[in-house]
Structures are given as C-alpha cells and as structure tokens.
C-alpha cells in the first residue's frame, strides 16, 4: 500500500528512509550524543537509533540549545534523514534543521500523522512538498 | 514567497556587505520555512552563550564574522564567569579547561560585534519592552516573559537566526508575531480551594509544567490566579508550557496585558478544551518533578531564573548567622546588576559566611549540570527552577535526583542536608 500526504517545507531536500514514529513532542536532547540512541527512560523510542531514520512526531520540543544538539548529532553521523511534524513545526527545530542540513516538513493533521507507522518506508519530498508512505 | 521591501532586498543582494547578506539569507530561509508573507522590524535581540561551547563558538563566529549588530542584543548566562571563581567552587580543572577558553573567545566575539554582555536569563530590565513591540529572543525564560507579561512579540528563536535578526534588524512575520496566533486556545481554571499561601514560586512552576503537558502546542489561558500575581510569578509560570510543550505564550486573565478579560484572551473564540488544576494535579506534578529517592541533598541551586533582589534578600535573611551543612554545596546565581546591588545592600556577606556561593552571570544549572554534577559526585540537586529540574533529570538520564520547591524549602535543605517533603 502506498499513499501521499501534502506538507509544508521547513527545510528543503529529498530523502527516503524508514519511519520512526514518536507520539509525543520530540526533542533531540533525548538522544545520546555518543551513541545516537534515545536513552531517556520512559521515552516512546527508548533504545532506538535515530540515525538514518525519518523522525515522525506531532511537534518538536526542546530547550534553546536544540539547534546545537541537532548540529552535534549531524557532525557525529547520528542525525536522522528527515523530520516530519504535525500541525506545527517548532521554530528552533527549523533553525536546527537548517543549520544541520536535515530536510524537514510539517503541516499534517493528527489524523494524517497517525497514518504513518514506525517501519513504513517514507519518501520525504522537501522540494515539491509531499510525503510518500509505502508499507509492505 | 516572502515579500521583501527595498531595504530588505538590498540587504539580501549584498549592498550592506557579506555579513548582512549572509544573515538576511537565513532570515529569508526561516521566513519561507514558516510560511511568513513579510518581515517585521525587530528592536531587540537575546542570544545564548552556555553549553556546547565549541559548537556555539563555531556557529556564532560564523554568523558574526565582520558583522555588527543593528539592534540592542543581550546575552544569556554563561557556564563559568571567572576561572578563579570556578576554582574556589571546586569545579574540576578539566571542566574549567574545557569551558573557560571557549567562553573567553565568545566574550571577545560579543565585544567586537557590539553585543551587550549581560549574561543573564533575566535581561528584561535592560529591554524596556512595550506592548506589541517585535523582538527576536531565544531562551526558555526570556521568551515567555516577553510575550506574556510585556506583550512584546517573539517566537522562541534559535541561536543562528537570532543572530541573523540582530545583524539585520529583521525577523519573519509569523507565529507569535501575528496577533491572531497569540490568542488563547485552552482554558486552565485554577481551583478555588487554594489559599493565598499556596501561590509560591513552586506553585507557579508546577502549574506551568502541568499546563505544558495538557496544552502541548496550544496557548494556555489561566483563570483563578490572584489579581496581584507578580511579574516574577508569571516568569515562573511561563517556563512549563515551553519545556513540556512548545508554546512561548500564555495569558493570565486580569493580570497579563493581552488578557483584560476571558473573551479578550481567547480573541472572542471558545476555548478548544478546558481543564481544572487542583490539589491532586499539583501533587502529581510534584511527584513527577521530585525524582530523588532519598531525602539527602548534596547540592542546592537557586537562581533559575536568575535571582531577583527580593529573592536574594530572602536567601540572605534565611542564611544569616547559620551554616550550610558540610555535605551540601549551595550555589546561587543572579545577574551583574543584582549582584552589584546585593553587594551594596550587604546581602553577599551573610550568604558567603554561611558557606554559600553567590555568583553573577552564571547559569544556575546548565553550565555545570551535564558535565559537572557527576564529576562533583553530586547525587541529588534541590532547586527552584523548572528549567534546571528538567535539565538535571533529563540531562543526566535520571542518574542525579531532583527536588523542586520554593526558595525557603531549598535553603532549608541546604542548612539541614535533607529535603522536607511537603
């Protein structure tokens, strides 16, 4: 099965990868900068590696240093391939995505966002403004 | 596409030199990302200087190369204010070596670019903000207070784009810059069962934390808070909606300027959802924030946000003639202005005689948290700040326990070495 979702572009770029879905606001601060794994106890994605994945979450959160956390992950080779957000995109995460060069899109209603599951193959088209989701 | 006027086009075309051009390119990128139709003129900026010193330096120096800021730009707290002081505080040499040279280089950068070296998370006295004024701020304490209490307009900017706004005097007209995005969305009624003594700084912090959880990315409107709720209380309240959710704006009906009435706070619309905050909710929040298992405390940090003069007076009074427990480090942070005044008011002596450290310009938390706590052998931190509490528990992945409370509780813990559970 395959479907397309229309999105706003926060940072340009076209990439494909496996979706990693978090049901709560996501901050890269929960990712261990030395391993690239989520290591905050009780986190939806505890133990999961974000490197090379497409992070899908309702919105991002984080503290004011989120930008550098993202840039640091990118430098260490642990950055996700892309970020897909729901209704809103966190301003500071957009700044981080631009700084770290991570494609980022947003503007999905909770219903649309809920259609994407962890493990789906996702193509993020941050040029045309759509997300193509395929599931085996 | 974002509309640019002649002045903005000229900046983008490089008429004002490569530094302004580079900055304008980023402002335009942020505008496009956020779907902004035009730019606003911003009158003031606030940037970060703690944590990740190397990366911060790299990014800041890139943006500030051959640049000067066009608008008054203040700086947030630093991790170490003086290497000598850091040694007195027994911060390990390795940490001082890792932090101090970077901070010195950052300070040089700021000086060259004409940035105000305020080094505080409470720069508002230097800002003189007015209602409706557009500004570009970053940081969790600074942004909500500017929006909610002063009625100034800013998104929670990042470091790079705040610098870009400081250099160009421009920011994308989106998010909280637009009046229609500032109206309330969720109603939070504070239960009438709370007596006047309940409304301390910890109460406001806890209420904000809870609001952030239930509102996520929606703007909360609070009712049922005392009409004499102070600027300081609103400052404590504002951190939670950002730290638990992602909103740098809220209203307190009858208190904050954009909420003279409930109707005004919601822009005439109906609340999307409504909640009541009562004693049960308060208890739940304290339960979540107080992650320490044992009641022994080995570090007490006050000044998240940077202590006000009234708070310093209260701390000095509570410590006067007493001694901080041998097993406890007491670190208190404030800004340069309050530090100078505290000195003249004779507040520093009683604090330091008791064994506490009063520091100007350092972050009560960030600087030492992620790096210092473990090397200092700290197991439990008691503090008065939500930002700090979150940083300790999240930053150390729960390895360092937290107690969150008001200043009196924290000072008491410093004197006895134990947290008294309320």
**Distance (Å, whole) CA B155 – CA B136:** 7
**Distance (Å, whole) CA B214 – CA B212:** 6
CB < 8 Å from B in window 22-81 of A = 25, 29-30, 39-41, 58-61, 63-69, 71-72
Q: What is the 3-state secondary structure (H, E, C) of B159-170?
A: HHHHHHHHHHCE
**Distance (Å, whole) CA B341 – CA B111:** 24
For residues B49 and B118, state if they share a domain.
yes
User: Is residue B58 within a helix (H) or strand (E), and if so which, with residue range?
Assistant: helix B53-64
Which of B287, B304, B336 is the C-terminal boundary of a domain?
Answer: B287
For residues B98 and B196, state if they share a domain.
no
Domain of B136 in residue numbering reads as 6-179
Residue numbers in B near A89 (CB within 8 A): 33-34
Strand partners of residue B274: B187
**Distance (Å, whole) CA A125 – CA B320:** 63
For residues B116 and B205, state if they share a domain.
no
**Distance (Å, whole) CA B12 – CA B168:** 10
CATH number of the domain at A31, please: 3.50.30.10
For residues B281 and B307, state if they share a domain.
no
Query: Residue B79: what are its φ and ψ, rounded to 5°?
Result: -85, -35
Whether residue B373 is predicted with pLDDT greater than 70 in this model: the reply is no
Task: List the single residue in A61, A64, A68 with the smallest CB-CB distance to B245.
Answer: A61
Task: List the single residue in B159, B391, B397 with the smallest CB-CB distance to A39.
Answer: B397
DSSP annotation of A135 reads -
Strand partners of residue B277: B190
Which of B287, B310, B325 is the C-terminal boundary of a domain?
Answer: B287
CB contact at 8 A, B242 and B145: no
pTM for the predicted model, two decimal places: 0.94
For residues B31 and B140, state if they share a domain.
yes
CATH number of the domain at B333, please: 3.30.499.10
Whether residue A66 is predicted with pLDDT greater than 90 in this model: the reply is no
Whether residue B21 is predicted with pLDDT greater than 90 in this model: the reply is yes
Handedness of CA B266, B41, B152, B235 (dihedral sign): positive
Contact B138 A92 (CB under 8 A): yes
Q: How do residues B248-268 score in pLDDT, each as one tens digit?
A: 999 999 999 999 999 999 999
DSSP annotation of A100 reads H
Which of B148, B179, B210 is the C-terminal boundary of a domain?
Answer: B179
Q: How do residues B76-110 score in pLDDT, each as one tens digit?
A: 998 888 999 989 988 888 888 888 898 899 999 99
Q: How do residues B201-235 score in pLDDT, each as one tens digit?
A: 999 999 999 999 999 889 999 999 999 999 999 99
Assess A85–B contact: CB distance below 8 Å, yes or no. no
pLDDT at B399: 85
CB contact at 8 A, B117 and B77: no
CB contact at 8 A, B239 and B269: no
User: Considering its fold, how many domains does chain B have in total?
Assistant: 3
For residues B23 and B165, state if they share a domain.
yes
Strand partners of residue B136: B45
B409 part of a folded domain: yes
Q: What is the ipTM of this complex?
A: 0.93
For residues B266 and B313, state if they share a domain.
no
**Average pLDDT score, chain B:** 93
**Distance (Å, whole) CA B335 – CA B142:** 14
Assess B246–A contact: CB distance below 8 Å, yes or no. yes
Domain of A109 in residue numbering reads as 2-134
A vs B, Cβ pairs < 8 A, gives 103
**Distance (Å, whole) CA A63 – CA B48:** 11
Contact B158 A92 (CB under 8 A): yes
Q: Report which of B366, B312, B369, B308 is spatially closest to residue B139, judged by C-alpha positions.
A: B366
Pick from B59, B76, B217 the residue to mutate for testing the A interface (most A CBs within 10 Å).
B217
Q: Which residue of B has its CA nearest to A127?
A: B33
Whether residue B368 is predicted with pLDDT greater than 60 in this model: the reply is no
User: Considering its fold, how many domains does chain A have in total?
Assistant: 1
For residues B62 and B97, state if they share a domain.
yes
Pick from A34, A41, A95 the residue to mutate for testing the B interface (most B CBs within 10 Å).
A95
Where in B343-409 does DSSP place strands (E)? 357-360, 380-383, 401-404
- Of B57-71, B94-108, B229-243, least confident by mean pLDDT is B94-108
For residues B282 and B379, state if they share a domain.
no
Strand partners of residue B358: B332
B422 part of a folded domain: no
Task: List the single residue in A40, A41, A61 with the smallest CB-CB distance to B246.
Answer: A61
Q: Report which of A129, A115, A127, A128 is spatially closest to residue A19, judged by C-alpha positions.
A: A115
For residues B296 and B382, state if they share a domain.
yes
- Using left for φ > 0, alpha for ψ between -120 and 50, and beta otherwise, residue B79 falls in alpha
Longest CA–CA span in chain B (Å) reads 65
Strand partners of residue B380: B401
Whether residue B371 is predicted with pLDDT greater than 80 in this model: the reply is no
- Helix runs in B65-216, H state only: 83-88, 93-113, 142-144, 159-168, 201-215
pLDDT at B372: 62
CB contact at 8 A, B86 and B80: yes
For residues B18 and B167, state if they share a domain.
yes
Assess B379–A contact: CB distance below 8 Å, yes or no. no
Q: To the nearest whole percent, how much of chain A has pLDDT over 90?
A: 74
For residues B129 and B204, state if they share a domain.
no
Q: Which residue of A has its CA nearest to B163?
A: A95
Longest CA–CA span in chain A (Å) reads 39
**Distance (Å, whole) CA B259 – CA B265:** 4
Assess B157–A contact: CB distance below 8 Å, yes or no. yes
Residue numbers in B near A72 (CB within 8 A): 52, 55
Contact A65 B52 (CB under 8 A): yes
Task: List the single residue in A29, A41, A98 with the smallest CB-CB distance to B29.
Answer: A98
B421 part of a folded domain: no
């Amino acid at each position: 099965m395959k479907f397309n979702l229309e999105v706003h572009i926060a940072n340009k770029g076209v990439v494909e990868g496996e979706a990693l879905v978090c049901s709560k606001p996501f901050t890269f601060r929960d990712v261990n900068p030395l391993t690239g794994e989520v290591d905050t106890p009780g986190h939806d994605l505890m133990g999961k590696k974000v490197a090379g994945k497409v992070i899908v979450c309702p919105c991002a959160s984080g503290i004011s240093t989120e930008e550098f956390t993202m840039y640091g992950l990118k430098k260490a080779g642990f950055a996700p391939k892309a970020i897909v957000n729901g209704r809103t995109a966190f301003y500071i995460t957009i700044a981080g995505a631009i700084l770290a060069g991570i494609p980022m899109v947003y503007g999905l209603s909770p219903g649309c966002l809920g259609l994407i599951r962890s493990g789906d193959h996702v193509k993020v088209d941050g040029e045309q403004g759509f997300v193509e989701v395929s599931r085996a | 596409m974002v509309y640019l006027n002649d002045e903005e086009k000229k900046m983008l075309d490089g008429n004002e030199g490569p530094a302004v051009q580079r900055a304008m390119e980023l402002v335009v990128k942020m505008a496009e990302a956020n779907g902004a139709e035009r730019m606003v003129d911003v009158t003031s900026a606030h940037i970060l200087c703690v944590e990740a010193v190397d990366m911060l330096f790299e990014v800041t120096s890139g943006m500030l190369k051959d640049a000067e800021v066009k608008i008054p730009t203040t700086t947030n707290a630093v991790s170490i204010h003086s290497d000598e002081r850091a040694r007195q505080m027994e911060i390990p040499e390795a940490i001082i070596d890792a932090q101090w040279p970077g901070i010195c280089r950052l300070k040089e950068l700021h000086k060259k670019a004409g940035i105000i070296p305020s080094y505080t998370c409470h720069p508002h006295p230097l800002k003189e903000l007015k209602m409706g004024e557009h500004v570009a701020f970053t940081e969790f304490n600074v942004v909500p207070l500017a929006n909610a209490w002063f009625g100034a307009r800013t998104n929670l900017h990042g470091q790079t784009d705040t610098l870009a706004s400081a250099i160009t005097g421009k920011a994308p007209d989106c998010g909280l810059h637009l009046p229609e995005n500032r109206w309330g969305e969720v109603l939070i009624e504070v239960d009438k069962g709370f007596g006047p003594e309940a409304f301390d700084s910890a109460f406001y912090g806890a209420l904000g934390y809870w609001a952030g959880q239930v509102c996520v990315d929606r703007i909360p409107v609070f009712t049922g808070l005392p009409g004499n709720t102070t600027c300081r209380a609103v400052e404590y309240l504002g951190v939670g909606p950002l730290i638990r959710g992602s909103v740098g704006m809220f209203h307190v009906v009858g208190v904050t300027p954009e909420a003279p009435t409930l109707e005004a706070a919601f822009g005439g619309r109906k609340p999307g959802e409504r909640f009541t905050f009562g004693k049960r909710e308060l208890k739940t929040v304290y339960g979540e924030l107080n992650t320490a298992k044992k009641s022994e405390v080995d570090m007490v940090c006050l000044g998240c946000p940077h202590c006000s003069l009234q708070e310093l007076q209260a701390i000095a009074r509570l410590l006067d003639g007493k001694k901080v427990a041998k097993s406890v480090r007491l670190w208190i942070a404030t800004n340069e202005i309050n530090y100078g005044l505290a000195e003249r008011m004779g507040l520093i002596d009683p604090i330091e005689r008791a064994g506490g450290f009063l520091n100007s310009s350092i972050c009560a938390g960030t600087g030492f948290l992620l790096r210092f706590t473990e090397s200092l052998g700290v197991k439990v931190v008691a503090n008065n700040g939500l930002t700090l509490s979150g940083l300790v528990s999240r930053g150390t992945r729960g390895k360092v326990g937290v107690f969150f409370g008001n200043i009196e509780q924290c000072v008491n813990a410093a004197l006895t070495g134990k947290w008294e559970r309320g």
